[in-house]
Amino acid sequence: MLDVKKFCHAREQLTQLFSVSAMARVQELCNTRADNVEATLEMEGDLDYQGLLVLKGRVTASLPLICQRCMKPVQYRISSKFLVSPVADEAQAKMLPRDYEPLFLTHDELDLARLVEDEIILSIPVTPMHDINACEVKEQHWSFGEEGAQSRGPNQFSELEKLNTKKRR
């Protein structure tokens, strides 16, 4: 736990490693158990020109995910920057400058592991994929829209079309 007020007033900096194996929500999103994977938090505390407490930092990790194009394992590199200011409620959150994300705290202590886990989850794409040149599924095998529909076989509504045409005559 980190005392946010003290950290920001002292304008401290920290770099800390966190084991991804202890992050249950991240583990659910990984391809395999991420026992040897570490996430790095680099963060500094500050007071802005209005006297607001500010935490600025970055979370980095490389996670074992599944490529949604070829369905094979992919190491996905995450690098998430954040700029947050602690608030107690929605009213305070609405008063923050546009560049700051609210960090809702009920007291002055921040669970750093939870912050890192949240940042990782927010950074994982909905459809992780290999780089196009590294993926086993090549562009010529992709199909979209009408092209994909044609490969399924005859149109389901062709008989209705025939009936409708006869009715008009």
User: What are 40-85's pLDDT values in tens digits?
Assistant: 999 999 999 999 999 999 999 999 998 888 888 889 999 999 999 9
pLDDT of 36 over the 70 cut: yes
Mode of pairing for the β-strands spanning 2-3 and 53-66? unpaired
Burial class for 150, CB neighbours closer than 10 Å (0-12, 13-18, 19+): exposed
Residue 6 pLDDT class (50, 70, 90 cuts) = very high
Contacts of 81 (CB under 8 A, 6+ apart): 57, 58
The tens digit of pLDDT for each residue in 102-139 reads 999 988 899 999 999 999 999 999 889 888 788 887 76
pLDDT at residue number 82? 96
With the C-alpha atoms ordered 118, 119, 120, 122, is the resulting torsion angle positive or negative?
Answer: positive
Q: Which two tokens stand for residue 99?
A: 């560049």
In this prediction, residues 18-38 reach a mean pLDDT of 85
Alpha carbon distance 24, 50 (integer Å): 37
Sequence-separated (6 or more) residues with CB below 8 Å from residue 10: 45
Classify residue 21 by its DSSP letter: G
CA distance 62 to 53: 30
Res 168: pLDDT: 65
Neighbours of 87 (CB within 10 A): 20
Q: How far apart are CA 42 and CA 161, in angstroms?
A: 63
Q: Do residues 29 and 124 lie in contact, with contact meaning Cβ atoms separated by under 8 Å?
A: yes
Give the pLDDT band of residue 31 (cuts 50, 70, 90): confident
